[in-house]
């Protein structure tokens, strides 16, 4: 009945995600997105509504790509060693794709301010909360710890993770390793 799309939305959104990941939301222009995604502005707006809409889909795409890390963490029976493995796995993940990009969610959290789009803030809060809960859940299983200590250490670990995300963008591998080893000396 009508012409068919010459592109696959999942494919082009991943290309957009990689561009946002490398450059951040503001610095990435529609012009750059057209070029990277290989489609016209018209098609981008037809599929995603706005730059913000495309960015939200890119965030979802990113979270899909790192879901395997979170699954490994949540299904781990290694206790705190499993959390440590998550830290190392994350570094490896950022190096696999292209060194120095950090975590798209953390990068976004660092970029935005209070007046930013509510949905974006919501996605960031949800993701951060989910990782923190995974940490807390593993800590809780360690029966030598009471709930107050679990909460304190979960706060510590989620902020330590935020620091690691930023640090992968401008610290050397050996420094990241020294960092992680010391993070897990204290718990």
Partner DNA sequence: CATAAAACTAACCAATCGGTTAGATAAGTA
Partner DNA sequence: TACTTATCTAACCGATTGGTTAGTTTTATG
Residues of the shown chain interacting with a second copy in the complex, contacts defined by CB under 8 A: 22-24, 26-27, 100, 106-107, 109-111, 113-114, 124, 151-153, 155-156, 158-160, 162-164, 166-167, 169-171, 174-176, 178-179, 181-187
By three-state DSSP, how is residue 2 classified?
coil
**54 three-class SS:** helix
Which partner from the list DNA, a second copy, none does 110 bind, CB cut-off 5 to 8 Å by kind? a second copy
- Indicate the angle between helix axes 118-141 and 67-74, nearest 10 degrees: 30
* Residue 7 near which of DNA, a second copy, none (CB within 5-8 Å, type-dependent): DNA
Provide the token pair at 67: 């879901």
Q: Which is nearer to a second copy, 44 or 157 (CB)?
A: 157
Q: Pick from 94, 87, 38: which is nearest to 65 by CA?
A: 94
Nearest distance in Å: CB 34, a second copy: 20
11 binds DNA (CB under 7 A): no
Q: Based on the shown chain and the rule CB under 7 A, indicate whether residue 7 belongs to the binding site for DNA.
A: yes
Q: Please enumerate in sequence order all residues whose Cβ is within 8 A of that of 92, keeping only pairs 6 or more positions apart, or say none.
A: none
Closest distance of CB 82 from DNA, Å: 40
Number of helical H runs and strand E runs in the chain: 10, 0
Site string for DNA, 19-38 (x = CB under 7 A): ---------xxxxx------
């Amino acid at each position: 009945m009508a012409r068919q799309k010459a592109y696959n939305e999942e494919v082009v959104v991943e290309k957009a995600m990689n561009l946002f990941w490398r450059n951040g939301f503001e610095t990435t222009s529609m012009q750059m997105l057209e070029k990277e995604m290989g489609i016209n502005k018209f098609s981008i707006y037809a599929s995603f509504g706005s730059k913000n809409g495309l960015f939200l889909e890119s965030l979802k795409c990113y979270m899909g790509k790192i879901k395997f890390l979170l699954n490994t963490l949540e299904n781990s029976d290694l206790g705190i060693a499993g959390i440590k493995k998550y830290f190392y796995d994350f570094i490896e993940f950022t190096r696999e794709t292209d060194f120095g990009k950090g975590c798209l969610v953390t990068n976004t959290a660092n970029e935005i301010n209070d007046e930013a789009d509510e949905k974006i803030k919501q996605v960031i809060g949800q993701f951060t909360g989910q990782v923190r809960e995974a940490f807390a859940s593993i800590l809780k299983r360690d029966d030598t710890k009471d709930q107050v200590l679990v909460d304190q250490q979960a706060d510590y670990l989620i902020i330590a993770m935020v620091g690691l995300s930023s640090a992968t963008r401008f610290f050397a591998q050996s420094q990241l390793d020294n960092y992680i080893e010391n993070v897990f000396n204290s718990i």
